[in-house]
Amino acid sequence: MSLDQTRATVPYRRLATLFACVILVALSLTWTYLGMRAVMNVGGSCADGGPYVSAQPCPDGAWMISVAIPVLVIVAMIGSAVAGGLSAPNLLVPMWGLLFGSLGWNFLEYGAFSGDLVWGWIVCGVVFELMALPVVLLALPGRGGTKWMPPTAPGTGSAGGAWWWPAYAGLAVIGGALAIWSFGAWS
């Protein structure tokens, strides 16, 4: 076996795919968060077009929710599949926690901290936060935080490690910034 055959090759395409998925997950999460806030600003429900015209038209940017949620789920699944081969943390677990945690915060903020108490939104906020809680518990040290992170994959060297989290965070900042910019430009 030659030296070239024993060296692990860097899977650039898989890395690029995973990094693109992280950016798209952050973008979709941000669009969902901002779109939900736009709808809640007009009372929490709206409709446009169709045979039954609503008295409350949807605000600009609300359409992004209908794009963001399917993209979020599909991209998180693709990214998790790619991450498994790279010994990287999957995207589904943090996506779950961030999605329900942020939407739960929206419900709680608008239900409890924006004037009168709106019990329906407070209950939804508590339920959403309880749905995010398992991810928080998994992330605590000594609570199985590595169970959703695969061991180092054969042939990839020591790709697994703590460097994934800063990389994910940096890519998420890029995705969030793109989402904020595009939400403002398109709404």
pLDDT tens-digit profile of 5-56?
545 577 899 999 999 999 999 999 999 999 999 999 998 888 877 777 777 8
Structural domain includes residue 66: yes
| Spatial separation of the C-alpha atoms in residues 68 and 32, rounded to whole Å | 6
Region 67-76: what's the mean pLDDT?
Answer: 97
Structural domain includes residue 125: yes
Structural domain includes residue 5: no
Mean pLDDT, the chain, rounded, equals: 85
The answer, yes or no, to whether residue 157 has pLDDT greater than 60, is: no
Task: Give the DSSP letter string of 41-105.
Answer: HTTS----SSSS--SSPPPTTTHHHHHHHHHHHHHHHHHHHHHHHHT---SHHHHHHHHHHHHHH
Residue 14 pLDDT? 94
Q: What pTM was computed for the model? A: 0.84
Structural domain includes residue 4: no
The answer, yes or no, to whether residue 158 has pLDDT greater than 50, is: no
Structural domain includes residue 179: yes
Summarize pLDDT for 48-61 with one digit per residue, the tens.
777 777 778 889 88
Q: Are 63 and 38 in contact (CB under 8 A)?
A: no
Residue type, position 148, single letter: W
Token duo for residue 47: 């409709």
Structural domain includes residue 62: yes
Residue 66's domain comprises 11-48+55-186
Structural domain includes residue 151: yes
Name which residue leads in pLDDT, 150 or 85. 85
Residue 76 pLDDT? 97
Indicate the number of domains in the chain: 1
Collapsing DSSP to helix, strand or coil, 173 comes out as helix
Q: Are 128 and 98 in contact (CB under 8 A)?
A: no
Region 67-75: what's the mean pLDDT?
Answer: 97
Q: Are 88 and 159 in contact (CB under 8 A)?
A: yes
Q: Are 87 and 152 in contact (CB under 8 A)?
A: yes
Structural domain includes residue 19: yes
CA nearest to 135, candidates 83, 176, 100: 100
